[in-house]
Amino acid sequence: MQGDGAVRRVVRQKTAHTLKALGTDYLDLLLMHWPYPDYFEEIWFEMENLYKEGLVKAIGVCNCRERHFEKLRKSCSVFPMVNQFESSPLNTKQPLADYCRANGIHVMIYSPLMNLRLKAETGYRESLEKLAGKYRKAIAQIILRFDVQRGFTPIPKSAHKERLQSNIDIFDFELTKEEMKSLSGFNEDRQTLPESKSCPGL
Amino acid sequence: MKNLVERVCNKIIRRTQWYDRYWNGVQKFWYLNRFNLDVVNLGSNSGKYAFDYEGLPVSGMNWAIGPQSLVHDFNILKNYFSYLKAGATVIISLCPFSSLASKYTKMTNLKYYTFLHPATILDFDEKERIKALKIKQSPIREMPLFCIKHTVKEVVKYFVHKPSPACDMEKNAATFIDSWKKQFGIEDLDAPLSGQHCKEQENRIQVLKEMIVFCRERDLKPVLVIPPVHPSLRKRLSAHCRENYIYSFVRKANVQHVPFLDYMDDERFNDDKCFLNSFFMSKEGAKMFTKTILEDLKIS
């Protein structure tokens, strides 16, 4: 722990500002954006305090791997409830997803549709289009449904009303086991946003 | 119209060799879009010239930048390891004096602002960061005379091409030894390390230890490598010198016993055609060496 508690003070201040800005007295979920190498455990310690005080109803992390959780396990009193990371059929991160499931950590997916901007292996786009045609949905909806059926909560961002509506409209169809397997088969561990560039040494 | 001229000028400048040299070849990180790399090498100038993965059946990249210290090697690894696949090999290329601290200037530090996260830049200075990013964005706007002068020089050189004379390896090796002695403040290469050098070596041992642990924690395979040097330089680095500056350093840092491959005396690389000078390998030599090391590591 840092002697003067500067990091912990910042966590508390940021939470207070957010509560004020939202005009509420508690937050449903507070996430640590990155497992900052030098401050990871200290930030988590303060997040635990906020959780115990009832200011936040759940606490979690982002972009954490198995090793980060195992590090926290040694010192934490509350284990992370959520892990938010980037994933898609091109980057399934299956071992991490399995770890989260086994440890009761809910998975949130950020930038779930970013992979559509990448040049992927031949067949990926075609496969998505085929499924989109079959279910009369957009390919973005197929990907979001894929995430939901993996037990994840994707959080696509859009400023367009129609797209926002479309992103929610994914609960009236279900991909078959074969279709899920086929989409997972496109995994090439392809990161859209290289994590180490945003948080060196994470 | 002014914008168009600026854009055209910048496009031309970015293709010149002097501009590449200005940034010490860091442009490879600006446009990096290759994921799941099988192997990368870090290192300073010797590593930069010793590795060439072109045409080899692996996805590899040369991440060495010259001049560079071990500390910056580690910072590059911290910033870019997401581009490596699980189980990838990280070749940590060492020079004869990697164990010592070399001084760096604002100018040699400038390049890091263009591709490293601010948190990993030594002696971070916001003014320097803004300067670097402005030059990167538009060199002609930030340093017009410098750009014109060097571009014209390069164009003239292109048309009035004079073949460069063959390197006198013996003379060149002597120059390298002298410049290292001056750079690191060494009087006698065979003498035991001074108190200051012992301190510097302790720091570098810690950095190398941390690099190895860092790789292992992330399912990467670190390998310590000393690339070949020309026989004329090799003979000037005595057994005492190597023990003091290289081998004792590696032994103390490599407590995890990762592979250490020393090609300094490898006679397969005795031929002059393998080298640009007594220390830097030629493209031909680099290809040959990279193929050899990948075979030795059973990566190819």
Q: What is the pLDDT of residue A5?
A: 84
What distance in Å separates residue A185's CA from the closest CA in chain B? 16
What distance in Å separates residue B290's CA from the closest CA in chain A? 26
Structure confidence by residue, pLDDT tens digits, A110-160: 999 988 887 777 789 999 999 999 999 999 999 999 999 999 999 999 999
Tell which of A58, A80, A102 closes a domain.
A80
pLDDT at A40 > cutoff 60: yes
Q: What is the pLDDT of residue B160?
A: 85
Q: What is the pLDDT of residue B74?
A: 97
Q: Is residue A117 within 8 angstroms of chain B, CB to CB? A: no
CA distance A14 to A17: 5
Determine whether the interchain pair B35/A189 forms a contact, defined as Cβ–Cβ distance below 8 Å. Answer: yes
- Scanning every residue of chain B, which has its alpha carbon at the shortest distance from the alpha carbon of A194? B82
Domain identity same for A128 and A72: no
CA distance A131 to B149: 59
Between CA B169 and CA B178, with CA B175 as vertex, the angle to 5 degrees is 145
Q: What is the pLDDT of residue B181?
A: 94
**Structure tokens of B161?**
């091409």
Contact B76, B51 (CB under 8 A): no
Task: Please state the domain extents for chain B.
Answer: 2-296
Does A86 reside within a domain? no
Tell which of A30, A62, A80 closes a domain.
A80
H helix count then E strand count, chain A? 9, 5
Q: Is residue A197 within 8 angstroms of chain B, CB to CB? A: yes
Q: What is the pLDDT of residue A15?
A: 96
Residue in this structure with the two tokens 């055609």, named with its chain if needed: B273
Contact A143, A89 (CB under 8 A): yes
CA atoms within 13 A on the CB side of B232: 20
Q: What is the pLDDT of residue A3?
A: 58
CA distance A186 to A126: 12
CA distance B285 to B270: 10
CB pairs under 8 A between A and B: 39
Alpha helices by DSSP H, listed for chain B, are 2-14, 17-22, 27-30, 45-50, 70-80, 106-110, 126-137, 139-142, 144-159, 169-184, 195-217, 231-234, 239-242, 248-253, 283-296
Determine whether the interchain pair A190/B36 forms a contact, defined as Cβ–Cβ distance below 8 Å. Answer: yes
Of B81, B85, B214, the CB nearest to A189: B85
Indicate the DSSP class of residue A119: -
Domains held by chain A: number: 2
Start-to-end Cα distance in chain A = 18
Question: What are the pLDDT tens digits along chain B (300 aa)?
Answer: 778 999 999 999 999 999 999 999 999 999 998 889 999 999 999 999 999 999 999 999 999 998 889 999 999 999 999 999 999 999 999 999 999 987 778 888 999 999 999 999 989 999 999 999 999 999 999 999 999 999 999 999 888 877 778 889 999 999 999 999 999 999 999 999 999 999 999 999 999 999 999 999 999 999 999 999 999 999 999 999 999 999 999 999 999 999 999 999 999 999 999 999 999 999 999 999 999 999 999 997
Of A189, A190, A196, the CB nearest to B80: A196
Nearest of B271, B273, B229, B188 to residue B93 by alpha carbon: B229
Q: What is the pLDDT of residue A1?
A: 45
- Scanning every residue of chain B, which has its alpha carbon at the shortest distance from the alpha carbon of A202? B78
CB atoms within 10 A of CB A73: 11
CA distance B62 to B27: 12
pLDDT at A4 > cutoff 90: no
What is the model's pTM?
0.92
Please report, as a single letter, which amino acid is at residue B74.
F
Topology of the domain covering B2-296: Rossmann fold (3.40.50)
Q: Is residue A165 within 8 angstroms of chain B, CB to CB? A: no
Chain B CB contacts of A201 under 8 Å are: 78, 120, 214
Q: Give the domain extent around A125.
A: 113-197
Chain A CB contacts of B86 under 8 Å are: 189
The DSSP line for A47-82 is: HHHHHHTTSBS-EEEES--HHHHHHHHHH-SS--SE
Domain identity same for A63 and A133: no
Give the phi and the psi of residue A98 in degrees, each rounded to 5: -65, -40
Does A182 reside within a domain? yes
Tell which of A33, A57, A80 closes a domain.
A80
Chain B CB contacts of A195 under 8 Å are: 82
> C-alpha dihedral over B129, B131, B135, B140, to 10 degrees?
170
Does A90 reside within a domain? no
Q: What ipTM does the predicted assembly reach?
A: 0.87
pLDDT at A22 > cutoff 50: yes
Nearest of B128, B61, B70 to residue B96 by alpha carbon: B70
Of A188, A189, A200, the CB nearest to B78: A200
Structure confidence by residue, pLDDT tens digits, A49-67: 999 999 999 999 999 999 9
